[in-house]
Structure 1
């Protein structure tokens, strides 16, 4: 085994592996919330719709920032979990005995 001094160090650019975020939330979800709130404001063109649209957008921004703080790619993980839901059986613990055999 080589000594640690003789190992080659390769710089790893941080921008290549950090998640795509806008204003602290996931990029796609933030842009979608902006589009929905902006569509509400532009379609109604009155003060009430503007206040409601801005309020909806602020609530979405807060929720999406909290979600990204927990996991920066949570929506992608959730969509993958839905995709593989049929693959993993709903067993609570490894030593549980199944009532019917699992066939794959």
Structure 2
């Protein structure tokens, strides 16, 4: 569409609508999953050493997840789609074709 002056109309697309959902700069689901695992470690063992170990492991994992998200924020979804693919697809026009 054009306006009366002959120029194209523009529509603003807000960044919040097109950016992936991140938590602490990493994939939200993975951060929450690692946090849950760390909390389970802390509260099952209930010692100061397990608390420090659980917190330390969680901080290291969030750092690694942030590096992963910096490379590609959608890397988890891409990898999950990748492992669903078959190793080889036969060069046929349809799955029901007789060989």
Structure 2: 5+ residue stretches without partners: 93-99
**How many correspondences in the alignment?**
88
Residue 34 (structure 2) pairs with residue 39 (structure 1): no
Structure 2 length as normaliser, TM-score? 0.81
Question: How far apart, in 1, do the equivalents of 2:39 and 2:91 lie?
Answer: 50
| Secondary structure at 2:73 match in 1 | coil
Structure 1 length as normaliser, TM-score? 0.77
Post-superposition, which runs of at least 4 consecutive aligned residues in structure 1 deviate over 2 A? Answer: 85-88
Structure 1: 5+ residue stretches without partners: 89-101
Instruction: After TM superposition, give the deviation of residue 74 of structure 1 in Å.
Output: 0.4
Residue 33 (structure 2) pairs with residue 15 (structure 1): no
Cα deviation 1:41-93 (Å, max 9, x = unaligned): 011111010011011101101100000000001010001111124356xxxxx
| Secondary structure at 1:81 match in 2 | helix
Question: How far apart, in 2, do the equivalents of 1:13 and 1:58 lie?
Answer: 31
RMSD of aligned alpha carbons: 1.7
Instruction: After TM superposition, give the deviation of residue 103 of structure 1 in Å.
Output: 4.0
Matched with 2:97 is: none
Matched with 1:58 is: 59
Instruction: After TM superposition, give the deviation of residue 36 of structure 1 in Å.
Output: 0.2
